[in-house]
Amino acid sequence: AQSVTQPDIHITVSEGASLELRCNYSYGATPYLFWYVQSPGQGLQLLLKYFSGDTLVQGIKGFEAEFKRSQSSFNLRKPSVHWSDAAEYFCAVGAGGFKTIFGAGTRLFVKA
Amino acid sequence: GAGVSQSPSNKVTEKGKDVELRCDPISGHTALYWYRQSLGQGLEFLIYFQGNSAPDKSGLPSDRFSAERTGGSVSTLTIQRTQQEDSAVYLCASSLVGSRTGRETQYFGPGTRLLVL
């Protein structure tokens, strides 16, 4: 069955430090992969997506993610975190049949 | 342009009552999705509408849950005889077209926070 695992429930980083949020998926075929961000009281906003081609994907707000088929991973990275990046981040896989499977989310805290 | 809107933003109800949650998708979007987000959980798919096709209801947790989409636009999610475990944030999303591959970008509304006492 398709699934998405985000191993870290929450992460705290200092402002200006680098960030990596982990995501592992289980899917038999080549997946369509997404990262969404949810700020407090807001809906989810798409950060970036991977369908095919270059495995390093650039997104909005300075985020990028790398698809690694051998590791079934799609980790999200940012070289320098800003306080406004504090939010909850969801990894998702488009698994066919109209459904998108979401991970449980990772809450990011940014300390000054 | 206007995004996906949902109403009410918050709803408090008593156990056993029925509730209706409304979603207005982005104009021109033919696909509409409902999700449930419980505390500390990811998004749980509930139901999907695509144009005039029969909806995919495979995610509805029980027969107390139903949804309809009138005129291919506004959608209403109805929960009958609410239970405390129904307390969650209910998110609606729309996309320009639906896709069996799941590759369409979904645009989310702010959600309705439901609390069942």
**What residue of A is the nearest CA neighbor of B49?**
A98
Burial of B69-90, coded b for 16+ CB within 10 Å and e otherwise, reads beeebebebebeebeeebbbbb
Write the residue in B42, B59, B103 that is nearest to A32 by C-beta: B103
Q: Do A44 and B4 touch (CB under 8 A)?
A: no
Q: Do A44 and B93 touch (CB under 8 A)?
A: yes
Chain A within 8 Å of B43 (Cβ-Cβ)?
yes
Report chain B's mean pLDDT, rounded to a whole number: 90
Least confident of A57-61, B23-27, B43-47: B43-47
Shortest CA gap B89–chain A (Å): 10
Rounded Cα–Cα distance for residues B73 and B26 (Å): 9
List Cα–Cα distances, A2 to A36, A75, A84, B31, B58, in angstroms: 18, 17, 32, 22, 15
**What residue of A is the nearest CA neighbor of B9?**
A41
| pLDDT tens column, A50-96 | 988 889 999 999 999 999 999 999 999 999 999 999 999 999 988 66
